[in-house]
Amino acid sequence: MIPAVLEQRRAGVLLHPTSLPGGVGNGDLGADAHRFVDLLAQTGFSVWQMLPLGPTHRDGSPYAALSLHAGNPMLISLDRLVEWGWLEGDKPDSTVNAITYRLDRLTQAHTTFMQRASESEIQAFETFINAQAHWLEDYALYRALRREYSGQAWFQWPAPLRDREPEALAAVRVRLIDEIAHVYFEQFVFERQWQALRTYAAERNVLLFGDMPIFVAHDSVDVWTQREYFQLDDSGQPAMVAGVPPDYFSAQGQRWGNPLYRWNRMQADGFRWWIARMTTEFRRFDLVRVDHFRGFEACWEIPAADRTAVNGRWVKTPGDALFESLRKHFGSLPLVAEDLGLITPEVLALRDNYELPGMEILQFAFDSGADNPYLPHNHRQASVVYTGTHDNDTTLAWFEDLPAERQLRVVEYLGYPHEPMPWPMIRAALASVSQLAVIPMQDVLALGRGQRMNTPGISDGNWSWRFTWDQLPPDLTERLMRMAKSYGRM
């Protein structure tokens, strides 16, 4: 019940590329990403887990992207473009708007590329466009239209464009041909830089571990172009939206707002929409986490008019038929099920029937008795253990915020460790029988309050955390290597 890539015990680090040092405004796929691969290889850790890579809305959340197939152009390394001769060197002012600066520089790079590119580079560009045309053409048109309408969502556009009337789309493709060509270039560059990073990681025996949200943003090219697969009215608005009921993270539940699927329509097509989506994920990653896995057994449907998730209801979904189709198409499925929250026997049966590892979160382990499934003595080998996830506070901050009696329970369970937090929790994760242990970079750096990546249910202040290389203690590489070796994860 373990994917082939996890047949040996491994350790990894959770870090989104935007959190890397270097780059204007956010980390990217340049030299610091390659240096991070080197750091992992030097420690004996062999997995780099990250969040979804798609282009984001203004809130920066990678879990509500503009496209399921496109890469985020903010992750493109401008320094690499300078090295390739497609961009002149530049040092931006510290007050510059990072997004505007990056987009302007990409426009400059596109102009230079079209003037100076070699014949082989032009051929590679054209090959990419042809190979990815099944999603790229619509995405480029969508991006060009969003720009023309000042960032408005597709369901706010004039009806002929909202409803994709052929004559209206044909006219726009001619009028916005330059903007469309630029989006092609952005995606070509992203793919070239991503595949270079993946090759670099593979040469150092580092696996790349991705993340796939179950749902799709309402304002996305995927919903605009394939409305038949979503529960929308004639104006493109949903009557019901996705979320989760009240839980550990929120007493009001979480109203995500994503449109829900027309599962019967997807099934009638042999789930080809999902097969195309998984093809993109497997092209980029060695292993993929499926976010909100329990939604493949039943979804929490919330009336769209409600502002909270309290009044939702569970509605069954054909997850078994979906995963059977995926297994027939791909063979083995290198997936990890995010099986957190309100998990029923039916969800566990779906996970286990398709031999998908689940998740163990140590921060969840100490709020009940010895039968708590997240305590290390209850872990399953077919699982991935974390100290915490991108949705949790850092382990040090979590521990410091526990009441005294809960802190005592933690240290008693961990054997009254002499190491300061979060190292006893990191050690517990690495010692677990779980086949893969993943530690958030904040915990690797022993960071405390104010360093989390995301606070569920809070819209502001998320997704912007970054580290610097000088935060790494001088003995960190050796310390992690000794631990990886001690617990059989080299």
- CB 82 within 8 Å of CB 28: no
In the numeric block, the tokens 């890539």 are attached to 5
pLDDT of res. 1: 57
Annotated active-site residue in 32, 138, 286, 291: 291
The per-residue pLDDT for range 290-309, each reduced to its tens digit, is 999 999 999 999 999 999 99
Q: Indicate if 338 belongs to the active site.
A: yes
- CB 36 within 8 Å of CB 467: no
The one-letter amino acid at 482: R
Q: What average pLDDT score do residues 263-269 get?
A: 97
Residue 302 CA, distance from chain mean position: 24
Q: What average pLDDT score do residues 460-466 get?
A: 94
Count of residues in the chain: 490
Higher-confidence position of 90 and 469 = 469
Tokens of 88: 């002149």
Q: How far apart are CA 80 and CA 187, in angstroms?
A: 15
Short-list 251, 216, 214, 219, CA closest to 457: 251
The per-residue pLDDT for range 157-195, each reduced to its tens digit, is 999 999 999 999 999 999 999 999 999 999 999 999 999
- CB 247 within 8 Å of CB 341: yes
Q: How confident is the model at residue 249 (pLDDT cuts 50, 70, 90)?
A: low
Tokens of 437: 């242990």
3-state helix, strand, coil in the chain (%, to 5): 45, 10, 45
Strand duo 207-212 + 287-290: pairing: parallel
Q: What's the 3-state SS for 255-285?
A: EEEEECECHHHHHHCCCHHHHHHHHHHHHHC
Q: How confident is the model at residue 147 (pLDDT cuts 50, 70, 90)?
A: very high
Q: How far apart are CA 295 and CA 342, in angstroms?
A: 11
Alpha-carbon distance values, 394 to 39, 175, 274, 443 (Å): 21, 49, 34, 6
Q: How confident is the model at residue 254 (pLDDT cuts 50, 70, 90)?
A: confident
Strand duo 313-316 + 335-337: pairing: unpaired
Q: How far apart are CA 346 and CA 215, in angstroms?
A: 20
Return the minimum-mean-pLDDT range out of 19-23, 259-263, 341-345.
Answer: 341-345
E strand intervals along 340-454: 358-361, 383-386, 436-440
In the numeric block, the tokens 């204007």 are attached to 24
What is the residue-wise DSSP string for 282-328?
Answer: HHH-SEEEETTGGGGTEEEEEETT-SSSTT-EEEE--HHHHHHHHHH
> How many CB atoms neighbour CB 377 within 10 A?
11
Q: How far apart are CA 393 and CA 28, in angstroms?
A: 23
Tokens of 117: 């590119």
Q: How far apart are CA 244 and CA 300, in angstroms?
A: 6
Q: Indicate if 391 belongs to the active site.
A: yes
Q: Is the pLDDT of residue 327 over 70?
A: yes
CATH 3.20.20.80 in the chain, residue ranges: 1-50+357-490
Q: Indicate if 291 belongs to the active site.
A: yes
DSSP assigned state of 336: E
> How many CB atoms neighbour CB 116 within 10 A?
11
- CATH number for the domain formed by residue range(s) 1-50+357-490: 3.20.20.80
In the numeric block, the tokens 């793919």 are attached to 191
For the entire predicted model, the pTM comes to: 0.96
Q: What average pLDDT score do residues 462-474 get?
A: 97
Mean pLDDT, the chain, as a whole number? 96
Return the minimum-mean-pLDDT range out of 88-102, 278-292, 363-377, 383-397.
Answer: 88-102
The percentage of the chain sitting over the pLDDT mark of 70, rounded to a whole number, equals 99
CA-atom Rg of the chain in angstroms: 23
E strand intervals along 377-478: 383-386, 436-440
Annotated active-site residue in 338, 360, 393, 443: 338
The one-letter amino acid at 218: H
241, containing H or E segment: strand 240-244
Q: How far apart are CA 99 and CA 103, in angstroms?
A: 6
Alpha helices, H only, 371-414: 395-401, 404-413
Tokens of 261: 């699927």
- CB 65 within 8 Å of CB 52: yes
Q: How far apart are CA 348 and CA 365, in angstroms?
A: 19
Q: How far apart are CA 109 and CA 88, in angstroms?
A: 8
